[in-house]
Amino acid sequence: MLSANPRFQGNIYIWPINRTVRTFRIFVVEPKEYCPELHKRIFNGAITSLLIPESDRIDPYSRFNEISSADNFDLITFPEAFLPQDALLDALRNIDRIESIGCVHVGIRPSESSEHHLFSVRQLKILLQSLHVITKIDKCDLNTFSEWLKKQNDSHHYNVGCVFTIDADHKIRVCLHPKIVRSKYEINTLNEKHMIEANLLTLVTLLPVDKNFLSITLQPLLCSDALHLDTDRPRCWPIDCVNSDASCFVGSPPDHIDIVSISACTPQQYRVSDDNVGYHTWHSEFRNTCIRSVKELSRHYHSTFVLSNYQSTKSSDIWGLSGIFIPVPLPNMDFPNYISLSSWGRFSDTDNRWSTPDDANVASKGKSSLCYVANINSDEINGHSPAHMLGFTLSRLIRDMTRLQPNHNIIDVQLYGVTDELKSNEYHFKKQDGSQ
């Protein structure tokens, strides 16, 4: 028997998009450090550098009205607690000058000067009012979040992310999604620094106008949303609950989650191998989530996980490792030196495990691997850049790949770094080889 009071409210966005190829281009942005006063520059620089790759612009978005279409990426993911809401509103006002843009997933914050990344309920209501006055935004996208917000206590504070794009009808589509799993950094005696765990499950389905292409469903998450941490309401983990609490969605939820996009702000791990070689790796909790999801959760059997994180903070913890998890064998291909690889599979007589530097030439052992992580190798990039951006193309989304002729590889891998500062104090990203 279903509970009369479901644990979640479901929110599914269905956006029509133009799609001409089956490849899927992704970018992850890794700022050098958590520094809110620089985040707007990095955000504007990343977006404008992709859409307008010339280096002579003076103002962000200044030449967007000359572009008939922009299909340079399908998804770009920024870290958690990243973009001040005023910068988000500016971006949404300016992108109405272009015909199309891929999905932009970013963690937002009330302001760049605030010490707090959490929004009060009042601040979120003001944000919704500001979104409503932007002409080309499809206001229907704001309804479910607005209804959910009306039910929340005015004293509560939430961590919020945003996904936006321009759809096939040239409307601006906006998804706001609150964080569901509180991290240990969001527990505080002060009300304004203590995050309340939300109960709004969010999915975004991209529906190609050309019916020859399959739909694509994204699940946007904020950092610890992807982890199995202790929650106020037992076992309220959004990846699991999309499967176990699917009845909260009105109508039929998507059968498959193709991309899980994670905006993160978290330390990663430093390990030492049996041969005494030190190396950085995704935190075991993130890797465990990826493996468990594609093994046990039916809607995530074919999911690719994308993660964007800060390279460092003022602390000495290991951060960074922005990249991608793909549940297919590691291909026997050459990767650039600014990419670090870790494969999950059988490398000896032991059970499946994650590879270490002791497993020399892992790429040549692709037949023994079942899935892998590829991320920015911070030891091999220019440390002077305030941010890096890693671009890669999926030759096929997993659900769009035949098992008789596998064709799911990372191709066209490119690293971008900030090479100059423009007169408007915005950054411009250019391709670089990643060497020191």
CATH of the domain at 188: 3.60.110
Greatest alpha-carbon span in the chain? 63
Distance, CA of 157 to CA of 229 (rounded, Å): 19
Q: Is residue 47 part of a domain?
A: yes
The whole-number average pLDDT for the span 144-169 is 97
**Is the predicted pLDDT of residue 219 greater than 60, yes or no?**
yes
Q: Is residue 82 part of a domain?
A: yes
* pLDDT for the residue numbered 195: 97
The whole-number average pLDDT for the span 198-214 is 97
* pLDDT for the residue numbered 51: 85
* pLDDT for the residue numbered 433: 63
Q: Is residue 309 part of a domain?
A: yes
* pLDDT for the residue numbered 276: 86
**Is the predicted pLDDT of residue 66 greater than 80, yes or no?**
no
CB 157 within 8 A of CB 120: yes
* Antiparallel, parallel or unpaired: β 410-421 and 387-394: antiparallel
**Is the predicted pLDDT of residue 247 greater than 50, yes or no?**
yes
Select the more confidently predicted residue: 426 or 325. Answer: 325
Residue with tokens 């904020």: 222
The whole-number average pLDDT for the span 408-430 is 78
* pLDDT for the residue numbered 81: 96
The whole-number average pLDDT for the span 313-336 is 85
* pLDDT for the residue numbered 123: 97
**Is the predicted pLDDT of residue 237 greater than 90, yes or no?**
yes
> How many structural domains are present in the chain?
1
* pLDDT for the residue numbered 275: 84
SS3 102: strand
The whole-number average pLDDT for the span 426-434 is 77
**Is the predicted pLDDT of residue 245 greater than 90, yes or no?**
yes
Strand-pair partners of 206: 15, 216
Q: For residue 351, give Cα distances in angstroms to 265, 273, 290, 374.
A: 31, 17, 17, 22
SS3 95: helix
- φ, ψ for residue 251, nearest 5 deg: 80, -160
Closest to 117 (Cα-Cα) out of 163, 85, 142: 85
The whole-number average pLDDT for the span 381-404 is 88
Q: What burial class does residue 125 get, using C-beta atoms within 10 Å of its C-beta: 0-12 exposed, 13-18 middle, 19+ buried? A: middle
Q: Is residue 1 part of a domain?
A: no
Task: Please count the other Cβ atoms lying within 10 Å of the Cβ belonging to residue 151.
Answer: 10
Residue 27 parent element (H or E): strand 24-31
**Is the predicted pLDDT of residue 146 greater than 80, yes or no?**
yes
Q: How confident is the model at residue 255 (pLDDT cuts 50, 70, 90)?
A: very high
The whole-number average pLDDT for the span 249-264 is 95
> Which range among 3-7, 372-376, 394-398 shows the weakest confidence by mean pLDDT?
3-7
- Would you state the structure tokens that stand for residue 214, as one six-digit string? 């399959």
Distance, CA of 419 to CA of 128 (rounded, Å): 36
* Antiparallel, parallel or unpaired: β 269-272 and 278-281: antiparallel
3-state DSSP percent of the chain in helix, strand and coil, to 5: 25, 30, 45
**Is the predicted pLDDT of residue 25 greater than 80, yes or no?**
yes
Q: Is residue 4 part of a domain?
A: no
* pLDDT for the residue numbered 366: 42
**Is the predicted pLDDT of residue 189 greater than 70, yes or no?**
yes
> Which range among 181-190, 239-248, 307-316 shows the weakest confidence by mean pLDDT?
307-316
pLDDT digits (tens, 9 = 90+) for 131-140: 999 999 999 9
Q: Is residue 3 part of a domain?
A: no
**Is the predicted pLDDT of residue 34 greater than 60, yes or no?**
yes
How many Å from the N-terminal Cα to the C-terminal Cα in the chain? 61
Mean predicted lDDT score pLDDT of the chain: 88
**Is the predicted pLDDT of residue 234 greater than 70, yes or no?**
yes
pLDDT digits (tens, 9 = 90+) for 293-303: 999 999 999 99
Q: Is residue 330 part of a domain?
A: yes
* pLDDT for the residue numbered 2: 47
Distance, CA of 325 to CA of 290 (rounded, Å): 7
Domain span at residue 256? 9-432
Q: Is residue 285 part of a domain?
A: yes
Looking at the chain, the whole-number percentage of residues with pLDDT higher than 90 is 67
Residue 388 parent element (H or E): strand 387-394
The whole-number average pLDDT for the span 55-76 is 57
Strand-pair partners of 429: 418
* pLDDT for the residue numbered 350: 74
**Is the predicted pLDDT of residue 96 greater than 90, yes or no?**
no
Task: Please count the other Cβ atoms lying within 10 Å of the Cβ belonging to residue 35.
Answer: 16
* pLDDT for the residue numbered 60: 54
* pLDDT for the residue numbered 364: 46
Q: For residue 329, give Cα distances in angstroms to 53, 235, 362, 365, 379.
A: 34, 31, 11, 9, 25
Distance, CA of 203 to CA of 199 (rounded, Å): 13
- Residue 159 region, left (φ>0) first, then alpha (ψ -120 to 50), else beta? beta
